[in-house]
Amino acid sequence: MTEGISASEQARADELDAHVRAGRALPLVFDAPRRGKPPRHWADLAPDERRPAVTAAGLPGFRASQFDEHYYRQASTDPLTWTDLPAGLRADVAATFFPPLLREVQVQTADEGTTVKTLWRLHDGNLVESVLMEYGVPDKPTSGTGRRRATLCISSQAGCGMACPFCATGQGGLQRNLSAAEIVEQVVAAGARVRLSNVVFMGMGEPMANYSAIMAAVRRMVDDIGLSARGITVSTVGLVPRIEKLATEGLPVTLAVSLHAPDDELRDSLVPINTRFKVGQVVEAAYRYFETTGRRVSIEYALIRDVNDQSWRADALADVLTGSGRGAGWVHVNPIPLNPTPGSKWTASRRRDELAFVRHLNARGIAATIRDTRGQEIDGACGQLAAQQR
Ligand code: SF4
């Protein structure tokens, strides 16, 4: 049995493995198992909850802003090092408000150290990962040119219930939702290394299936850490009601929809949530998000060799995006060469097919850029590192 996994979890994992080996589709799982709730952490508290929590712990209310300053503004996570806090209080503050939520298990670097992938173990043994990618770093040609910036890709769930057959995380099933603090902790840990410009919810999990925690985390990032909402991207495979809800939040975050196929027939098998919300519904909801927020929507499209990468499918994608009078200006397509999971039959497209795909979209006036696949040499496919360790 894997360290930290209960007998029932192991049985479920074995059942999922058997499903995969038998080539059967996994079930979609929307409701995360209610177990292993992490301890409450400072980052779980909304601003109006902090002073009351501090006074309930017998401390003067002003300590709340002191904690905010250390944790959010200085990315300092260990109260034992906070010298403006009386030495006799530090251990209690650490235990009450800053319990360790993420333990670093493995760090892999690539691209001359400008891509850093961290595997974290949660308090209950589950594994998640985050990837930090720096761009435009002087003397590091693989980090690219242009303005210096840093993007952090974070996980929103341990595992994922969306069962996409080409994805290592999806094949492992959903273990549980992350708490708001477990999400924020990934951001604070990266913020201690570099100044972040962007955060993308494109690690493990379907963010919209853990909606209240990701929204609480987004608010901490914007209101407390000081990131621009425009620099935060929330991705989804197409949970239409949640896309609609996101549009009402008054936060101009970027929406990224992982479409991966323009036709229901193929998408039903590639992205099983499509059996609930069809391509037309997902695209319409994404367009309404653009209309409400003014934010251009990203369409993610993993290019899989001879599966969804034909030029005629690029034309079909253009049809679906621009249909119903929507035009082309509301959307940006990011074709991503699939980073194959070991042992999987799915593999990346040929370069010439990638280029042809983009050309066909551009010919219809649709902006499309092939997304770079940073960190390929360190098991860059989403969820792959955690899947190996499980
Ligand atoms: S591709 Fe994304 S949504 Fe699909 S199973 Fe993997 S992590 Fe979940």
Model confidence over 234-264: pLDDT tens digits? 999 999 999 999 999 999 999 999 999 999 9
Q: pLDDT value at position 15?
A: 44
Ligand 1 center from residue 206 Cα (angstroms): 6
Ligand 1: does its nearest atom lie under 6 Å from the Cβ of 237? yes
Q: pLDDT value at position 20?
A: 39
Q: Do domains 42-97 and 101-389 have the same CATH topology?
A: no
Residue 5 scores a pLDDT above 80: no
CATH topology assigned to domain 42-97: DNA polymerase; domain 1 (1.10.150)
Q: pLDDT value at position 339?
A: 77
Q: Domains of the chain: which residue ranges? A: 42-97, 101-389
Q: Which residues are catalytic?
A: 129, 382
Q: Strand 232-236 and strand 254-258: pairing?
A: parallel
Q: Comparing 32-41, 84-93, 173-182, 266-275, which segment has the lowest mean pLDDT? A: 32-41
Could you tell me the pTM of the whole model? 0.90
User: What is the 8-class DSSP label of residue 304?
Assistant: B
For residue range 344-364, list pLDDT tens digits in order: 788 889 999 999 999 999 999
Q: pLDDT value at position 381?
A: 43
For residue range 118-141, list pLDDT tens digits in order: 999 999 999 999 999 999 999 888
Please identify, in words, the CATH class of the domain defined by 101-389.
Answer: alpha beta
Query: What element of type H or E holds 118?
Result: strand 115-122
Percent of residues, the chain, with pLDDT higher than 70: 88
Residue 331 scores a pLDDT above 90: yes
Atom of ligand 1 nearest to the CA of 160: 8
Ligand 1 center from residue 114 Cα (angstroms): 25
Residue 380 scores a pLDDT above 90: no
Ligand 1 center from residue 153 Cα (angstroms): 14
pLDDT band at 75, cuts 50/70/90? very high
Phi then psi for residue 62, to 5 deg, are: -65, -20
Instruction: Give how far Cα 116 sits from Cα of 143, 198, 219, 249, 281, Å.
Output: 12, 15, 25, 32, 37
